[in-house]
Structure 1
């Protein structure tokens, strides 16, 4: 029987790789340009994250300019694969010693924020007779870490594209509204900068939005707000793992027809980065490069997600997702405020 030469074996693989590159290159290039623009604009607007700029840019572009079909595959790849890769590099920002320094009572409060926010939002969504998949995405996005949590959960559950883009749009809208609201409410309640910063980190959806709110509060608020937020982000790993096990136990597959792994690869990568950043004294240049890569990947991904947000589709989904977003925001902020006050009084 004739045998195939290495060259014969390699050609189909090379052709498939070339076809995939041609298929995805236009959309990926568009997302890369959008990420570069967003990061550049962010440098001239202190306190405004490139991630927020990117997703707003994506929303604006897709609703003003009809994008050609040729860019669709690359945009989809960016909004899914690049987002998960960005989550991996996000792990380098987490230093376990900083999180542990919050103390056991505050760490317990953070667990209550995430668990209470998720279960409370799911309960409210059921009472409102909303689709379970849509409710779960909103619950995790608002309780953990915004669009990154939506992407992580979407990868291990049965969620359609409309539910994903709706959850991301709500995260952007309500998280951005929280940037001035939390500092103002904290001032009216007589909270000092540190407590107000803790409240911002415990209640606002995206880390970029937390940074913006911490800057508005001033004093030592920014540092403590980011640490509290990073502690919430760390809980993304166990939440996704639990949802993945639940999905496997029910014997259902993800939208691509595959059963989700017990722990998704990107979550393993995220945890590895947390361990590396917490164990080794990495040079500043390495940390800076990791932060740049993470920002670039997430900005490209946010632009891709923004391109999926059609204003007419948001109008079509009705008022219930917006009402749930309001209720979930109030719930998460309320749990965070109550917990922080209890820890402070104790």
Structure 2
């Protein structure tokens, strides 16, 4: 393990996490993948180990640890070969809870953040809409103030934890005429009247509950507003760095898992009297993909180190997601080929891994959107600054 970033404490944490996942999660993965439903009792077990509170304040039950503990959590979740389960965890911890911690007042933190860390409540983040997933500024869901409540109408889609979560962190237009300057973010309880959710049938991430959610005159108390009214767009932009970096880390980790599994297979599988890893054509293709993975991993660690210091790394995190997710798809495609017919079989991990990985260049901002953002920064010299 790279001692530039990981201490002995980090390594001990990794071993503890691996043992926990092996005992409490791996035996159930195939069932959860088949049913599309994760046993909700696992969240309390996660919380008891402190995994939901890794980088959150101690006063709400967190551990306030550095970002490389988060790196470890993401890496090891990818190596149990269930992109859906991993997504359910990070959608809760790094999407929903990020907003609670950053924009929530003391009351919201006590009512939502603390129970999220303790595993009593599971959250989801609702931004993408049927009319445009990556176009945050163009969202159509409204939250119109009526006395001491907002009345929310609209719909969201592709929402991870959208069916089984206990609360929703929702972006809506409180002043539609202001465009992206009229967006606010608020917390809505799942059992609020007027909320309905429909589970979506996906190519991959089969264990997670991804949903389309409808809001029909949902009443939300004004005290459930996160931060200031009409500042939601800037809050969303502020947190893109951690979301994109997490997806970049996920990508290099699943590519590494695919390479490790494939190399072991090639060392044991024989053809024409010798192991597959002795054929020059296969050896050279393998190390080429291994090199791509190592380059992305080293880059992602460097970005994590900068973000850990408090630097604003929106450009670097966007590059991380753009290049790492593309690399992971290419690596896993090649690894499946190395397994031949067995790679195509569901009894082997590459088929599921290929399906799960394909969401990487789509979710959290498509590669096309990221390229345009990076073009504005690199070619047009647009200077994105910390907004809040």
Q: Normalising by structure 1, what TM-score?
A: 0.30
Q: Which has the higher helix share?
A: 1
Q: Which has the higher strand share?
A: 2
Q: Normalising by structure 2, what TM-score?
A: 0.27
